[in-house]
Structure 1
Amino acid sequence: MLLIYNEKTNPYFNLAMEEYLLKNFDEDMFILWRNERSVIVGKNQNTLSEINLDYIKENSIPVVRRQSGGGAVFHDLGNINFTFISNNNDNFNNFKRFTNPIIEILKTLDINAEFSGRNDLLIDGCKFSGNAQYNYKNKVMHHGTLLFASQISDLSNALKVKPMKFKDKSVKSVKARVTNISEHLKVPMDILEFKDLIIDYLYKTNTDTKYYTLSELDIININKLVEEKYNTWDWNFGHSPKYALYNELKYPGGNVEFNLNVEKGIIKDIKFFGDFFGKCDISQIENLLLNTKHEEENLKTILNSININDYFLGADTDILISGIMGVK
Structure 2
Amino acid sequence: MLRLILDLDPTDPAFGLALDEALLESALRGTDALRFWVNKRCVIVGRSQSVSSEVDLPHLRELRIPVLRRISGGGTVYHYPGNLNVSLYLSCGRELGDVSQAYETLGEAIATALSQHAIAAHHDGNIIQVGGKKIAGAAQARRGASLLYHMSILIRPSKLPIDGLLLAMRPSYATRHVPSHPLPVRSLHEISSGVTVTSVVERISERMSAVLGKRLQQGDYTKRELERSKRLRDEKYGRDEWNLLR
CA deviation after TM superposition for structure 1 residue 89, in Å: 2.0
Q: Is the 8 A contact 2:94 2:145 kept in 1?
A: yes
- TM superposition score normalised by structure 2: 0.87
Structure 1 residues 1-328: aligned runs within 5 Å: 1-8=2-9, 9-25=11-27, 26-86=30-90, 87-91=92-96, 92-93=98-99, 94=101, 95-116=103-124, 118-151=125-158, 153-160=160-167, 169-185=176-192, 188-199=194-205, 202=208, 206-237=213-244, 239-240=245-246
Q: Shift in Å at residue 173 of structure 1?
A: 0.9
Helix, strand or coil: the match of 1:39?
strand
Shift of residue 160, structure 1, vs aligned partner = 3.2
Indicate conservation of the 8 Å contact 1:44/1:171, yes or no: yes
Pick closer, same or farther for the CA change 1:150–1:195 going to 2, 3 Å. farther
- CA separation in 1, counterparts of 2:59 and 2:203? 34
Q: Residue 194 of structure 1: CA displacement?
A: 3.2
The alignment's C-alpha RMSD in Å is 2.3
1:229 is displaced (CA, Å) by 0.6
Secondary structure at the aligned position of 1:144 is classed as strand
**Does the CA-based 8 Å contact 1:203-1:210 persist in structure 2?**
no
TM-score, normalised via structure 1 length: 0.66
Residues in 2 aligned to 1:153 and 1:203: alpha-carbon distance in whole angstroms: 35
Structure 1 CA distance, aligned partners of 2:117 and 2:203?
10
Moved over 3 A (4+): 160-166, 189-207
CA distance in 2, matches of 1:208, 1:78: 29
Structure 1 stretches of 5 or more lacking a match? 241-328
Shift of the 36–192 alpha-carbon distance from structure 1 to 2, 3 Å rule, reads farther
Higher relative contact order (CA 8 A, sep 6+): 2
Paired residues of 2:167 and 2:173 also in contact (CA < 8 A): no
Q: CA offsets per residue over residues 136-188 of structure 1, 9 Å max, x none?
A: 1111211111011030644222113678697x631111111111111111x62
| Displacement after TM superposition at 1:29 (Å) | 1.9
1:132 is paired with a residue whose SS is strand
SS at match of 2:153: strand
Distance in 1, matches of 2:171 and 2:194, equals 40
- 2: distance between equivalents of 1:192 and 1:78? 13
CA contact (8 A) 2:53 2:167 kept: no
Letter in 2 for 1:20: A
Indicate conservation of the 8 Å contact 1:77/1:150, yes or no. Answer: no
CA distance in 2, matches of 1:149, 1:53: 25
Q: CA deviation at 1:18?
A: 0.8
CA deviations over 1:230-267 (Å, ceiling 9, x no partner): 11111000x21xxxxxxxxxxxxxxxxxxxxxxxxxxx
Q: Is the 8 A contact 1:35 1:75 kept in 2?
A: yes
Q: Give the partner amino acid of 2:5.
A: I
1:74 is displaced (CA, Å) by 0.3
| Correspondence for 1:261 | none
Matched length = 236
Instruction: Report the Cα offset of residue 200 of structure 1.
Output: 5.2
Compute the displacement of 1:201 (Å). Answer: 5.1
Q: Distance in 1 between matches of 2:184 and 2:135?
A: 9
Q: 2: CA distance between counterparts of 1:17 and 1:150? A: 25
